[in-house]
Amino acid sequence: MLSDQKEPAKADRVNALIAEMSLGEKVGQMVQVSSDDGTLTDTLRDNIRGGRIGSVLNQVNPDVVAEMQRIARDESRLGIPLLIGRDVIHGFNTVLPIPLGQAASWNRELVQKGARYSAMEAASRGVNWTFAPMLDVSRDPRWGRIAESLGEDPYLASELGAAMVRGFQTDDLTQADSILSCAKHFAGYGATESGRDYNSANIPDTELHNTYFPPFQAALAAGVQSVMTSFSDVNGEPPTASVWLLRKILREKWGFPGFVVSDWGSINELVSHGVAENDCEAAQLAVNAGVNMDMVSNVYASYLQDLVEQGIIDEAWIDEMVAQILGVKFKLGLFEASLDTVDSRLPTENHLNMARQLALESVVLLKNDQDLLPLDIESSQTIAVIGPLADDGYEQMGTWVFDGDAELSQTVLDALKDSHGNSTTVRHVRALDTTRSYDAREFDHARTAARESDVVLLVLGEESILSGEAHCRSDIRLPGAQEALIEAIVECGKPIVLVIMAGRPLVLDAIVDKVDAILFAWHPGSMGGPAIVDLLFGDAVPSGKLPITFPRAVGQIPIFYSHRNTGRPPSKDTVTHVDDIEARASQTSIGNQSFHLDVDPSPQYCFGYGLSYTEFEYSELTLQPLRVKAGSQVEIDVCVTNTGSREGEEIVQLYTRDPVASLARPIRELKDFCRIKLAPGERRHIHFSLPTDILAFFDRDGRKRLEPGRFQLWVGGSSEADLIADFELVG
Ligand code: GLC
């Protein structure tokens, strides 16, 4: 029986409906099928009419969706509407930067707006449920799905994931263009071993509570109404069969009111995991764990009714599973919704403008020697545009773009010609057919273009297929002959701006010193071209900050900023390099500390890093009170000054550390951030209020611990900020 203090009327409607349902109709609500081929087959019609299906995914033809809903509402016995699901991960027809790129914007409001516009476009095709936001914290860029994540930090992922939930659902789920969001993949998927997808994840319970759970808790607080289980087993237990995760934590501890959907086929994958003998046992394990809906494995449709009739599963438990699904359908207003699609004129100009702004704020300036950027139009009369991603509207969209319209894309070459074609001569050479190509026959052509130009714009990176689900890489350098292409262009002796489009951090160690400037654009989406060109010529100033650490070498992975200190942290002065070790050096002569012999222990670029065309100075950091009582808050003030000659936006970041606690705590943790725009020379005082509760951590039993003692606090423009202050938490 569903009870809902906030909406008792809805709960009554749910319970009344369940009382009328046959067991077969109840099981039907727990079944999701895919309409991959886009047609409405007779089988699908019959199953909808017979009440044997509760949801369909991958159908985005509005007329077919309307017909499916009409059958469900007007021809089935009880008229229960369908949930129509789709992966609206970073846009719909208008494609936004990949989520990892959006995370580099650190812009809660803009990320929320991006989800809002995406929901409007999807709802106009009859979609009422998206399988987003993906909230898997990940610290392994070998993993293809890091592209879909919001990066390595629980706080940043929490803030932006909650923003996406608000954008998709608005504060009125019954609104015609509100769509149900789905927090996925619960839980710990981002720790998949060796960055290989679907692999096991071994995560201590303290790490689950302190690192992997918070974004899901933030999504719940933002009102998310569905959760998806993850493929990877966590410590030997697949989440799709985990009573601990889905009932003890998600429902009993966190009070989640919505429903859980398995990931694609992950119920019958319990057999492959080795926790179920067969599909029937898999069905029993999953439903007992609290998986409400079976995504396409057909295991619930095949076995649940028998399991109830044999008395193995209690029908009252099925009623509870179904009530949670129906409760969400009522919250979505599906029973009253019109079958007309909401606005088939979408996408519109303002969607493209929003995509452009999000792309602008997602790009991270990694290097800018001699202030080469922004380009001076006078000294950039002829520009060589070289590389396989300079003019590829499909590849710049990135992974998970089922409904992305490549025709909407504006490439770097398009934008350069549109905006500067009258004043600048552009010499375009693709040079490599794909990012994986080793065919260097076009390199001479590229060299000629470079020699005849004032500046070279290289647009390189990864094709979209090299990231995303199941597309993991063991070597994360620029693929194919792209490094060789850089070498070839360097010989021409011209200034080089490198724009990288990729679905993950790349190892850039071999090329970072060979080019003058680097803009990292992730896969920037439909409007990546105009955004990048605006930045190249200073019509916009880079403001992106890395949401993920860039390693110097793949062997450093996992490498992330919020690590623990260890008993022997590497100290700069003793670190040596494998080539410098004297022959027959004694075992202890080079220092027994935590580093690799063959690579500097620091990252190539740290979390929160990003340059601007101006500089920002931090000063006057003050805290009040210096002794703060648990349950109150610390008031923090800092002054930020734009000391450069251009207006710029800065992302002010606040980190804390608990240097002595009952468990070793990270050397820094992000606790707040804000974006500010400052004119040249402008000084501004920024204020943060830090509730002491945010300083707590969970122990191995999942108990929240707020321990009195000294805390350190930094404010600055990256996780390596050095403006520091101390305060004390008193009991
Ligand atoms: C996929 C993904 C999941 C997605 C679902 C439906 O395998 O793991 O994130 O939402 O199936 O496409």
User: Per-residue pLDDT tens for 58-90?
Assistant: 999 999 999 999 999 999 999 999 999 999 999
pLDDT at 575: 56
Q: Rounded distance, CA 97 to CA 451, Å?
A: 33
**Which residue has the CA at smallest separation from atom 3 of ligand 1?**
263
User: Per-residue pLDDT tens for 272-328?
Assistant: 999 999 999 999 999 999 999 999 999 999 999 999 999 999 999 999 999 999 999
Residue 596 domain-assigned?
Answer: no
Asked if residue 269 has its Cβ within 6 Å of ligand 1, the reply is no
Residue 96 domain-assigned?
Answer: yes
Residue 522 domain-assigned?
Answer: yes
Report the CATH number that the domain containing residue 466 is assigned in CATH. 3.40.50.1700
228 pLDDT band, cuts 50/70/90, is very high
What mean pLDDT is reported for the chain? 96
CA of 263 to the centre of ligand 1 (A): 6
The β-bridge relationship of strands 704-705 and 697-698 is antiparallel
- Active-site hit among 140, 263, 319, 534: 263
Whether residues 145 and 278 share a domain: the answer is yes
Phi/psi at 631 (5° precision): 95, -10
Q: Which of 83, 87, 98 to mutate to test the pocket of ligand 1 (most atoms within 8 A of CB)?
A: 87
Mean pLDDT for 42-65 is 96
Whether residues 636 and 506 share a domain: the answer is no
Asked if residue 145 has its Cβ within 6 Å of ligand 1, the reply is no
pLDDT at 339: 77
Looking at the DSSP bridge assignments, the partners of residue 639 are: 619, 685
Q: Of the candidates 376, 479, 497, 375, which has an alpha carbon nearest to the alpha carbon of residue 434? A: 479
Is residue 333 scored above 90 in pLDDT? yes
Of the residues 519, 536, 553, which one is the last residue of a structural domain? Answer: 536
**Which residue has the CA at smallest separation from atom 11 of ligand 1?**
264
Give the chain's domain count. 3
Whether residues 126 and 247 share a domain: the answer is yes
Is there a contact between 524 and 362 (Cβ–Cβ < 8 Å)? yes
pLDDT at 588: 83
User: Per-residue pLDDT tens for 606-626?
Assistant: 999 999 999 999 999 999 999
The percent of residues above 70 in pLDDT, for the chain, comes to 98
Of the residues 536, 565, 589, which one is the last residue of a structural domain? Answer: 536
Is residue 600 scored above 70 in pLDDT? yes
Higher pLDDT pick, 345 / 712? 712
Is residue 679 scored above 60 in pLDDT? yes
Whether residues 165 and 248 share a domain: the answer is yes
Residue 382 domain-assigned?
Answer: yes
Is residue 3 scored above 80 in pLDDT? no
Sequence-distant (≥ 6) Cβ neighbours of residue 415 within 8 angstroms:
529, 530, 532, 533
Residue 531 domain-assigned?
Answer: yes
Residue 269 domain-assigned?
Answer: yes
Q: Which atom of ligand 1 is nearest to the CA of 131?
A: 10
**Which residue has the CA at smallest separation from atom 12 of ligand 1?**
87
User: Per-residue pLDDT tens for 686-711?
Assistant: 999 999 999 999 998 889 999 999 99
Report the CATH number that the domain containing residue 682 is assigned in CATH. 2.60.40.10
Q: In what order do the strands lie in the sheet containing 31-34?
A: 129-130, 83-86, 55-57, 31-34, 294-295
Six token digits for residue 38: 């886009």
CA of 82 to the centre of ligand 1 (A): 19
Whether residues 427 and 480 share a domain: the answer is yes
Q: Which residues of 658-667 are buried (b: 16+ CB within 10 A; e: fewer)?
A: beebeeebbb
Residue 583 domain-assigned?
Answer: no
User: Per-residue pLDDT tens for 664-677?
Assistant: 999 999 999 999 99
User: Per-residue pLDDT tens for 168-204?
Assistant: 999 999 999 999 999 999 999 999 999 999 999 999 9
Whether residues 120 and 199 share a domain: the answer is yes
Asked if residue 87 has its Cβ within 6 Å of ligand 1, the reply is yes
Catalytic residue status for 263 = yes
3-class secondary structure per residue, 676-728: EEECCCCEEEEEEEEEHHHHCEECCCCCEECCCEEEEEEEECCCCCCCEEEEE
Residue 598 domain-assigned?
Answer: no
Of the residues 513, 536, 559, which one is the last residue of a structural domain? Answer: 536
Q: Of the candidates 93, 149, 150, 91, which has an alpha carbon nearest to the alpha carbon of residue 116? A: 91
Is there a contact between 701 and 603 (Cβ–Cβ < 8 Å)? no
Q: Is the dihedral of CA 356, 361, 365, 370 positive or negative?
A: positive
Mean pLDDT for 481-502 is 98
pLDDT at 589: 82
pLDDT at 39: 83
Whether residues 635 and 714 share a domain: the answer is yes
C-beta atoms surrounding 63 within 10 Å: 11
User: Per-residue pLDDT tens for 556-592?
Assistant: 999 999 999 999 999 876 656 788 888 999 888 887 8
Whether residues 287 and 417 share a domain: the answer is no
The label of the residue with tokens 């890093």 reads 609
H/E element holding 638? strand 633-642
Whether residues 366 and 489 share a domain: the answer is yes
Domain range enclosing 704: 616-730
Asked if residue 263 has its Cβ within 6 Å of ligand 1, the reply is yes
pLDDT at 68: 96
CA of 135 to the centre of ligand 1 (A): 13
Whether residues 642 and 712 share a domain: the answer is yes
- DSSP for residue 31: E
User: Per-residue pLDDT tens for 642-652?
Assistant: 999 999 999 99
pLDDT at 483: 98
Asked if residue 469 has its Cβ within 6 Å of ligand 1, the reply is yes
User: Per-residue pLDDT tens for 353-392?
Assistant: 999 999 999 999 999 999 999 999 889 999 999 999 999 9
Whether residues 306 and 360 share a domain: the answer is no
Is there a contact between 635 and 692 (Cβ–Cβ < 8 Å)? no
CA of 231 to the centre of ligand 1 (A): 10
Whether residues 270 and 362 share a domain: the answer is no
Report the CATH number that the domain containing residue 167 is assigned in CATH. 3.20.20.300
